[in-house]
Structure 1
Amino acid sequence: MLEIRLKGLEETEKFGIKLGEVLQSGDIVCLNGELGAGKTTLTKSIGKGLGVEEYITSPTFALINEYEGRVRVYHFDVYRLENVDELYDLGFDEYFYGNGVSIVEWAEKIEKLLPKERIIINIDKGKTLDERIIVITGEGNRYKEIIKELNID
């Protein structure tokens, strides 16, 4: 587990870019946190680190957006998901087990469908408006490698 306190939007962006730079094809990043915690903001920064030049928006109504970067980025937002059949209809497993990086907002809603090896980021609001507390957990060798590369002193 790694806990990081980000004191503002600039630190959040730097963290997201750094995370994006270490992510590789096949990685799955699960973002959890209440409304307004900063899941989409963090996703935008991760996208920058992955080389995405296109403006990243929340796929709240589309369920998934795809972006080109140094690897393909699949951005899921399952907040409005009414049942998991919608994900089956999309062929979600092709994304999760494909050649891109999957970023899933509200991942706790589909936890049973997610591969065991994944990076889980819980975002909590801090004491100030822009402060965020990031707790990173996960399973598997990639999670351990990413934690090692992200360990910020």
Structure 2
Amino acid sequence: MSGTGRPAANWEVTLAATTAEQTQALGRHIAEVLQAGDLLVLSGELGAGKTTFTQGLGEGLGVRAGIISPTFVLVRIHPNLPDGPRPGGPDLVHVDAYRLGSAAEIDDIDLENTMDSSVTVVEWGLDRVEHLSESRLEIDLHRAIGLGTAAEAAGDLGDAGTTGGPSATLDFDDDTDEPRTIVVRGYGPRWATAPALGGFEGGLPC
């Protein structure tokens, strides 16, 4: 167990990205080693690049384009394209868990029904989705200059009922070109060893 009471990761890799394209490139690179059943948990402050990373991941998996943060619908499913780079590969299930306050609420959206045939990516999923799989990748994205926390965003927006809630802007300026630190951690037997991440196209180890 780590000092926070959570299980320790099998490994941790820290990378630097200076542009949105580099963040997407890391997503494409990680997609090469993903398979159906894999779970990715994305964390990061406002505009950290969670959706930008997922867009790159979708390109690498060869799923239907148009990936945006699934703020209002909670879950978006992007099917694998038969004429894409990985025909017959897994679909991408993209989840925004910001509005979901517990693991029980995660269970209510029935991700178990799609996990076996899909790669599941959960934004704001830390401490909410770990029960879905004994193995996962946790990816933390941090801006050099943050835009604040989700709680601060809620206060700035005032009445969330008239704006769509704070998560409507959680990826504000998500595609800006500025330095980001990206920390990748592997948990469980699926990720007993780290994939080769240090040489991904467009990125350098910190």
1:20-39 CA distance string (max 9 Å, x none):
12211111111011121111
Partner of residue 59, structure 2: 48
Choose from 110, 114, 131 the match for 1:91. 110
User: Aligned-pair distance for 1:73?
Assistant: 0.8
For the 8 Å contact 2:134–2:189, the answer to whether it is kept is no
For the 8 Å contact 1:7–1:131, the answer to whether it is kept is yes
Which residue identity lines up with residue 142 of structure 2 in the other structure? D
Partner of residue 138, structure 1: 186
User: Aligned-pair distance for 1:68?
Assistant: 1.2
Partners in 2 of 1:64 and 1:113 — Cα distance?
Answer: 18
Structure 1's unaligned 5+ residue stretches are: none
User: Aligned-pair distance for 1:49?
Assistant: 0.5
User: Aligned-pair distance for 1:129?
Assistant: 5.6
Partner of residue 7, structure 1: 18
SS of residue in 1 equivalent to 2:128? helix
User: Aligned-pair distance for 1:67?
Assistant: 0.6
Is 6-15 or 81-90 further displaced after alignment? 81-90
Aligned residues: 151
Q: Does residue 1:107 correspond to 2:154, yes or no? A: no
SS of residue in 2 equivalent to 1:151? coil
Compared CA separation, residues 23 and 112, structure 1 to 2 (3 A): closer
Which residue identity lines up with residue 124 of structure 1 in the other structure? H
More helix by share: 1
Partners in 1 of 2:107 and 2:129 — Cα distance?
Answer: 14
Compared CA separation, residues 151 and 142, structure 1 to 2 (3 A): farther
Q: TM-score, normalised by structure 2?
A: 0.66
Partners in 1 of 2:74 and 2:131 — Cα distance?
Answer: 15
Structure 2's unaligned 5+ residue stretches are: 1-11, 81-88, 146-175, 200-204
5 Å-filtered alignment, 1:35-74, equals 35-69=46-80, 70-74=89-93
Greater Cα radius of gyration, structure 1 or 2: 2
Compared CA separation, residues 108 and 10, structure 1 to 2 (3 A): same
